[in-house]
């Protein structure tokens, strides 16, 4: 089981750099999708949860709160 800081890359070139707890994305980290989208922020049990910043390919940015992988609350 992965615990602490580390890097993980999937076969499709998506990657995660950040904290793990019991092999789950947990704490602060950056996830980059193969198509170039990026999320930097808090994870809990493998989902975006807490404060984060999502950047789309066209330059749009959302910065704010997430709950269960969805934008939620103030942003």
Distances (CA, A) of 37 to 21, 22, 23, 34, 57: 24, 26, 23, 8, 6
pLDDT at res. 53: 98
Q: Global pTM?
A: 0.92
CATH classification number, 4-71, choose in 3.40.50.10480, 3.40.50.2300, 2.20.110.10, 3.40.470.10: 2.20.110.10
Q: Tell me the pLDDT band of 74, cut-offs 50, 70 and 90.
A: confident
Would you list the domain boundaries of the chain?
A: 4-71
Q: Give the tens place of pLDDT for each residue, 40-64.
A: 999 999 999 999 999 999 999 999 9
**How far apart are the C-alpha atoms of 36 and 19, rounded to whole Å?**
21
Q: Give the tens place of pLDDT for each residue, 12-44.
A: 999 999 999 999 999 999 999 999 999 999 999
Contacts of 12 (CB under 8 A, 6+ apart): 34
């Amino acid at each position: 089981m992965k615990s602490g800081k580390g890097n993980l890359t999937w076969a499709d070139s998506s990657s995660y750099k950040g904290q793990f707890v019991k092999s789950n994305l947990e704490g602060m980290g950056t996830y980059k999708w193969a198509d170039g989208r990026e999320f930097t922020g808090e994870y809990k049990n493998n989902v975006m949860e807490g404060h984060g910043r999502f950047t789309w390919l066209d330059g749009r940015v959302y910065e704010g709160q997430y709950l269960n992988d969805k934008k939620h609350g103030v942003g």
